[in-house]
Every structure is written in C-alpha cells, then in structure tokens.
C-alpha cells in the first residue's frame, strides 16, 4: 500500500523568541523541517504535503529546496493539529493509502519507527506512536486496555489519576487516507484549549467500532524543539549520534567531542579526522582521507588519500582528487585539484581547474572576480606556480609551465614556458637611511 506524508509546520514558535519560523531553525546545517522530511522520505511516499502557516512562504521555499515535488497547503488560522491536518485533504485528493502525520519541529523520528507503524496498520485502523517518559510532564497520555488504545487525553484535560500514566503521545499518527480525514471532520474543539486536537481521532475511531494501536519508541526520538535551549539540546543529541555512527563505521575521530557533522556528512572507512573540524552540508570524504585540525568544509568532495589542513577551508564546489594536499590557511572554492596536486600554504584557489601534480606556491591567488562576473583559471598538469603569484582570470597556465614568484599573470602561459610578470627591481643607494632620518625629524618636530 502506498503512503503519504503530512508534515505540520504552521506554528509560530513564540517560545523561540525569533523572527524565523520555528521549523526553519537549523539543526546540523539543515532546517528542522528538512529532518522531518528526510525521516518520512525513507518510506518512499507517493506524496508529501507540508502544512504551512506563520512565515509560510519561507517555510514553503525551504521545503521545495529539499524536495521540489512537495505539495504546500496553508493553515491560515492556527486552530489545532486536527484543523491543520484537515487542510491537507485537497492535496491528497485521489490518494488511497496510508497517511503519516509528522511534525516539522520533531527531527529525530527514525525511519525504522515509521516502518513499524506502517506494519502495525495491518492490524489496526489507527496507529499512534507512543513512548514511556521519564518525566511525563505536560505530554498527552495514552489510555490503554490491554494492547488496544482507547483514547488520548491531553494534559490540560487529564485527571490526576490519568496524569500518573507514563505512556505518552508523540503526536505521530498513521491511518488510512479516507478514514483520517473523515475522523478529522468530526472533531470538536470542546476542550481546555478550544482547539481541534488530532489526538481525538482515536476516540472517534473507537466510537465507530474501529481499532487503534500503539507502536512505542525511545523517548529520545520524540524530542520536539520549542525553545532555544531545546534546539541546543537537539544539536548536542544529533552530534553525539553522528560521532558514534562515524566511529562504528570505521572513521577515526581523534577528539570526537570537538568534531561537528552536518545532517548529510559522508565519511569513508579509515578516514581520519583531527580535532576541531567542522563539516557543513554537502561533504563527502572518501576512505583514507585525512582532515587535519581546525578545518572547515562544506559542499565539497575529498578523494582517497587526500590531506586537508590544518586550518584549511573548502567551500562549495571544491573537488579534491586522490592524494591532493591542501595545507594551512588555504581556501578552495568551486575548483578542482587533480591527482597529487598541492597547495600547501596561504593561498586562494577559486573558479579554477588545477592539473595533476601541479604545485601552488604560498600566497597564490586566483583573481576570479571583476566586480560583476566570475572568471575561470586553468593550471596545467605539473605546473609550478611561484609564491605570491596573482593569476588574473580568465587565464591559462600550461602544463609543465612555471611562474616566477611575485608575478601578476594576465596572459596565457604556453606549455613548458616560464612567465615572469613583475616590475624590474631598482635599488637607490643610501635612500633608506635618508628617508628614515627625515621621518624621525618630522616626528620630533611634532612632539615639540
């Protein structure tokens, strides 16, 4: 049977004290909403519907950036989770399968948990995700008879005895598409909050003589983000899991607690990561790569045997082939470095292609931007770029060519040629002493 996702992302999140919609606050380099979308996408849903409200255009843009096929609906007035789900009915018109309701501020639901809920649907008309809370607090409580769920009671409406129950509601629910929207239509807002609770569909199903069941997960999966403190806690939880998974996969982390991953970081077995490395989104480092201390990487690919850092920065579009060396205070952006190429010191390589075994001397800059357009630099295989060379793009340095230190290269350099583009040195005997004495005399006059 097909599945569809309905992700609720309409809340303002006033407790975040932010102009940014709550679901757009970043976790491991991606909006909270994207984490929820990724969890559900593992089930290969036929449709994904995101319900927006506060900051709807920005939320819709973020959702489409992640999945251009997502369907967006708007909850113009926030009247509860049941009302939010009802807004998705038209977007799922003609769909006949299971609907999974997720939340844009709950990033850690595992795909395996959702798969278990889909499996449980074979024996239940409605399936709710529950968890046993160490401190149930203000969570809704699941009222069970044996292994059957009778109803869900919100904390505000619960009796003292019901509040003693530790089996709590995560809010995640699965039901058939026709049934869930029919049950939502029957909801009442006669409760302490005056809202239409999605949780009340369980009571509605039971009144119809239908069955409701519960799948449980670890409490950590249900962590929702409503405050900055909870966001920080979620980041810490994500990083702890990512570090543990990397170690399990055969990656060496010399000081794991100092390494920070993005939601999509990919590291090959036997990669070695030194302390204080930050991975932004879109990084792959292959087996045997070494990322040295205090380096920052995003949107890049590091091949087998390459060494990056220390104190290096790889920006989006950086592509390092096997055995490339990128050293301290080198920045690479939208540039490829061929096998065995080296840029070991204090250089900027942007919008460029560097050939295999080329050597980039310290202080080299590809001058790629004219204030309006970006221009390309090509450096051939085995070329030697002397220290402090300015390569004014568009320009090509041929294979086996060499540039003299301190050169400004504005024209193409043929294969095997030496290019020297600097002013002739002129020495003025004795002038340095005369100039310094003149300056000292001027300072003395001012002090008097």
Residues labelled as active-site residues: 345
Q: Helix or strand or coil: residue 97?
A: coil
Cβ neighbors of 257 (< 8 A, separation 6 or more) are: 243
Which among 292, 212, 305, 228 is positioned nearest to 258, based on CA atoms?
292
- 269: Cα within 13 Å, side-chain hemisphere: 3
Q: What DSSP character marks residue 369?
A: B
Distance in angstroms (rounded) separating the CA atoms of residues 424 and 409: 15
Cβ neighbors of 291 (< 8 A, separation 6 or more) are: 271, 272, 273, 274, 277, 285, 297, 302, 308, 309
For residues 71-84, one letter each, b for 16 or more C-beta atoms within 10 angstroms of the residue's C-beta and e for the rest, the string is: bbbebeeeebbbbb
Which among 379, 387, 425 is positioned nearest to 406, based on CA atoms?
387
CA 307 to chain centre: 24
């Amino acid at each position: 049977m097909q599945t569809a996702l309905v992700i609720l992302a309409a809340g303002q999140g006033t407790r975040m004290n932010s102009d940014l919609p709550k679901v757009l606050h970043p976790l491991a380099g991606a909006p909270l909403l994207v984490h929820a979308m990724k969890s559900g996408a593992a089930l290969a849903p036929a449709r994904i519907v995101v319900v927006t409200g506060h900051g709807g255009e920005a939320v819709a843009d973020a959702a489409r950036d992640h999945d251009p096929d997502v369907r967006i609906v708007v909850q113009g007035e926030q009247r509860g989770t049941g009302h939010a789900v009802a807004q998705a009915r038209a977007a799922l018109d003609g769909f006949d399968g299971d609907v999974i309701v997720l939340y844009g501020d709950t990033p850690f639901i595992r795909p395996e948990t959702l798969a278990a809920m889909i499996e449980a649907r074979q024996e239940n008309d409605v399936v709710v995700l529950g968890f046993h809370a160490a401190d149930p607090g203000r969570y809704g409580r699941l009222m069970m008879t044996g292994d059957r769920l009778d109803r869900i009671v919100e904390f505000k409406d619960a009796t003292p005895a019901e509040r003693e129950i530790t089996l709590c509601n995560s809010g995640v629910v699965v039901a058939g598409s026709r049934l869930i929207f029919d049950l939502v239509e029957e909801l009442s807002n006669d409760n302490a909050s005056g809202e239409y609770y999605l949780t009340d569909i369980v009571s509605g199903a039971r009144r119809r003589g239908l069955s409701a069941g519960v799948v449980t997960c670890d409490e950590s999966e249900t962590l929702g983000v409503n405050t900055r403190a909870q966001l920080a806690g979620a980041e810490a939880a994500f990083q702890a899991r990512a570090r543990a998974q990397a170690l399990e996969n055969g990656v060496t982390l010399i000081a794991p607690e100092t390494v920070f991953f993005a939601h999509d970081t990919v590291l090959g077995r036997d990669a070695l990561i030194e302390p204080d490395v930050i991975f932004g989104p879109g990084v792959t480092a292959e087996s045997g790569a070494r990322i040295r201390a205090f380096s920052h990487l995003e949107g890049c690919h590091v091949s087998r045997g390459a060494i990056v850092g220390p104190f290096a920065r790889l920006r989006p579009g950086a592509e390092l082939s096997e055995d490339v060396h990128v050293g301290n205070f080198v920045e690479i952006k939208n540039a490829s470095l061929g096998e065995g190429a080296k840029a070991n010191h204090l250089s900027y390589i942007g919008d460029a292609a560097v050939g295999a075994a080329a050597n980039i001397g310290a202080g080299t800059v590809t001058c790629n931007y004219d204030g309006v357009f970006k221009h390309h630099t090509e450096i051939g295989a085995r070329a030697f770029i002397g220290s402090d060379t300015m390569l004014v793009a568009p320009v090509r340095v041929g294979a086996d060519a060499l540039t003299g230190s301190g050169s400004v290269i504005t024209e193409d350099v043929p294969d095997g040629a030496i290019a020297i583009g600097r002013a002739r040195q002129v020495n003025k005997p004795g002038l340095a002493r005369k100039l310094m004495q003149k300056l000292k005399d001027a300072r003395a006059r001012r002090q008097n």
